[in-house]
Each structure stands twice: as C-alpha cells, then as structure tokens.
Amino acid sequence: MKYNQVVPGTFLQRPNRFIAHVLISGKEEVCHVKNTGRCRELLIPGCTVYCAVSDNPQRKTKYDLIAVEKIIESQTVFANAGTPSQKIKQSPETNSTLLVNMDSQAPNAAVKEWLRSGSSPFGNIDFLKPEYKYGNSRFDFYLECKTETKRTGVSSNSTEKTEAMPVPTENEITHPRKIFLEVKGVTLEDNGVVLFPDAPTERGVKHVRELIRCLEEGFETYVLFVVQMEHALYFIPNRKTHPQFADALCDAQNAGVHLLAFTCKVTPDEMKIDKELKVRL
C-alpha cells in the first residue's frame, strides 16, 4: 500500500480529531488527520510526522497526516528477530524512533493487497469481496478459498483443537471455505506491547459478537489486528480502556473465532503486511 507523494513535517498541535497544524517547509499548514482516535502518545508537539500530498486541488486541506516518528525513550528497542520479537538492549544515551503509520484506511488497503498476492495465510483466494454485507453487519472482507490456512508458527494462548471446531486437513476440504475477515488497525504501543483499542469502540464489540454468530451459521471467522509499525513483542486487547471489547474477544476465541495479528513494514510512503505476532488475551 503506497502513497503517491509524502513530505516530512513537524507536528505543532491538534485542535480537534480531524485536523492538525504541521510545520512543512517552514510554513504552518492545516492537515487532515486520517485517524479519529486519540493518538495522544503519538502526536506530541515537536515530533516528526509525514504527510501525503492530496491530488485533489478542490480540497480545503492540501495534506493528510499519515505517519509519525514515535520516540522510544526507554533503553530498550524491539526487533522482530525471530518469533516472538526479542528485546535488544542499547546504551542509556541511545534513543530510537519507531515509525508508526496512523492512517486508519491503510490497514484495509494493505490487507487487500496481501490477500490478492497469495502470500497471506489463506494462500490463493478464489473469491474476494471487500465491505461485504451479511445480515445486519458489514465485514471488511469476505473470501472463499479451497486450501487450508497456512500458519507461520505464532498463535494465541489457546492453540488446542476442540471437538466443537475441528481443523480439517486439505484432503477433507471438498467445498470452498467461506470466510469473514474483520480488520482492526493498531497504533497504540507501550514498551513493545501493542494494544487495541486506544479508545472505547462499541462498533468493534458489535463486529466481534457478530462474527461469533456467523461462525454458528457455518462460516469461518477471523479478526485480524494490523499493527501499523514494524517492531512489537506481542498483542493484547486494551482491557483498561475498553473491558467490554476484551471480554468479547475472549468469548470469540473460546467460540472458535480465529485471532491473528501481523506487524507491518512501514516507510514514510508505504505500508506492507509483514510478520505474524503472538496474541495474548
């Protein structure tokens, strides 16, 4: 998922959820913020941000704020050196930055490319439909494929097969697998641990609960947390911010909904799905 033209800037302030004031080439610009979440730990006055130049001359704002360099103030940085990620100690004088894409539209765009490439755990997909309406819900993706899901060695705490949800072998699959996939973008990071959500999300609870219902109706169901940064230790639900979402996620896993998390390769002008990350509930 790539942006056409991106320029660096210095974040000044965010008067409301939708706009930010950014110093770009010596001029204070009003930029559209492509994330209505709080992002308080990211958008700190003086930090370096990256803005995509709009190709629409009729827009009120010329730029979209899409990424930010988060300063890692501790003596520890995190690298995906194996599975799971490992800590790498640095000297006390060393500070590092973590580039975080905070465009809320980027996860779905990156996942769509990833699914179409055949490199996702679902392999080659026979049918793919974004924004698929089913019942009273609209899920991010509906897909059909004939091959068994490939796993890359990282899973949630509960990995045992159950009688209620047997895992078929490739030889047992005679009909296309019908799958609903809901995507959640993750930008909140705390000492290497990534969390969702960063603000209460009743919509997120609704999606998770409805995936359980779809599972009961014979579909495979997945929640995919797209971690919009390259380095992390593991993913957890943000129970402190929204305990109801954490409870819904636990209920979903117990029912048989698959929970996945993947980090991303992030540059100022691009974001690609990268490595699977452990999910802890």
Give the pLDDT confidence of 146-194 residue by residue, as tens digits: 866 565 555 455 444 444 445 555 545 457 899 999 999 999 999 999 9
**Residue 112, SS3 per DSSP:** helix
Range in 49-63, 153-167, 188-202 the model is least confident about: 153-167
Round to whole Å and give the CA distance between 103 and 16.
16
Please provide the average confidence, as pLDDT, over all residues in the chain.
Answer: 87
Closest CA to 228 of 174, 170, 159, 274: 274
Burial letters for 79-113: b for 16+ Cβ neighbours within 10 Å, e otherwise?
A: ebeeebbeeeeeeeeeebebbbbbbbebbbebbbb
Range in 27-41, 53-67, 134-148, 192-206 the model is least confident about: 134-148
Round to whole Å and give the CA distance between 223 and 218.
16
- The domains found in the chain, sorted by start residue, are 106-276 (3.40.1350.60)
The model's pTM is 0.84
166 C-beta neighbours (distance < 10 Å), count = 10
11 versus 163: the higher-pLDDT residue is 11
Round to whole Å and give the CA distance between 91 and 59.
46
pLDDT value of residue 153: 52
Stated as kind and residue range, the H or E segment containing 105 is none
**DSSP state at residue 54:** P
pLDDT value of residue 175: 76
Range in 51-60, 148-157, 172-181, 204-213 the model is least confident about: 148-157
Q: Which residues pair with 70 in a beta bridge?
A: 98
Question: pLDDT per residue over 79-88, tens digit each?
Answer: 554 444 454 4
